[in-house]
């Protein structure tokens, strides 16, 4: 029973819950970015490149026959994944940059406590001030 209690304490800690929420949000964010890439950016790139679909690009080493499966190097999928990664990385960079900017604004200037002088320093200060008065 002790192990269940320890697991419960672990599972309801703030960090674990924050991590779970982050994973769920990241999954949804990933779907949004994938849709952005597949449905908006790649059709525009395809128009600019003359209708080339990156996922179809490949080099065929052995053609498919009735007895042999096609052996090919699908570099188009790689290009597509690099584009996806670049867009996702840029989006995450912009979100982190925005959060850091908001965090900097929220940071308050620490209040500096007044300097408390030692009693002997107080007396020396008074002597100095009185000597200055006598000089004038």
Based on the structure, what is the number of domains in the chain? Answer: 1
CATH label of the domain that carries residue 55: 1.10.1200.120
Q: Could you tell me if 77 and 55 are in contact, meaning their C-beta atoms sit under 8 angstroms apart?
A: yes
pLDDT exceeds 70 at position 108: no
Task: Name which residue leads in pLDDT, 118 or 66.
Answer: 66
Around Cβ 74, how many Cβ atoms within 10 Å?
A: 14
In a domain, 124, yes or no: no
- What's the whole-number mean pLDDT along residues 78-107? 80
User: How far apart are alpha carbons 15 and 9 in whole angstroms?
Assistant: 11
pLDDT exceeds 80 at position 112: no
Task: Name which residue leads in pLDDT, 6 or 69.
Answer: 69
In a domain, 134, yes or no: no
Which residue range is the domain that position 80 belongs to? Answer: 2-109
pLDDT exceeds 80 at position 17: no
Q: Could you tell me if 61 and 74 are in contact, meaning their C-beta atoms sit under 8 angstroms apart?
A: no
Mean pLDDT of the chain: 81
In a domain, 136, yes or no: no
Tell me the pLDDT band of 6, cut-offs 50, 70 and 90.
confident
In a domain, 123, yes or no: no
Question: Nearest 5°: CA angle at 125, between 120 and 126?
Answer: 100
User: pTM of the entire structure?
Assistant: 0.49
Per-residue pLDDT reduced to its tens digit, 33-50: 788 878 888 788 778 878
Question: Nearest 5°: CA angle at 74, between 70 and 79?
Answer: 170
DSSP, residue by residue, 40-92:
IIHHHHHHHTTS--GGG--EEEE---SSS--EEE-HHHHHHHHHHHHHHHHHH
């Amino acid at each position: 029973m002790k192990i269940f209690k320890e697991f419960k304490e672990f599972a309801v800690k703030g960090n674990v819950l924050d991590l779970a929420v982050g994973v769920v949000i990241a999954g949804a964010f990933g779907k949004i970015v994938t849709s952005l890439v597949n449905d908006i950016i790649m059709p525009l790139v395809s128009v600019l490149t003359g209708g080339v679909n990156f996922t179809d690009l490949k080099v065929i080493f052995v053609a498919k026959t009735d007895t042999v499966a096609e052996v090919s190097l699908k570099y188009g999928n790689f290009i597509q994944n690099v584009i996806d990664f670049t867009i996702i990385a840029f989006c995450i960079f912009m979100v982190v940059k925005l959060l850091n900017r908001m965090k900097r604004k929220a940071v308050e200037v620490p209040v500096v406590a007044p300097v408390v002088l030692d009693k002997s320093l107080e007396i020396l200060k008074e002597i100095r001030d009185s000597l200055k008065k006598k000089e004038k």
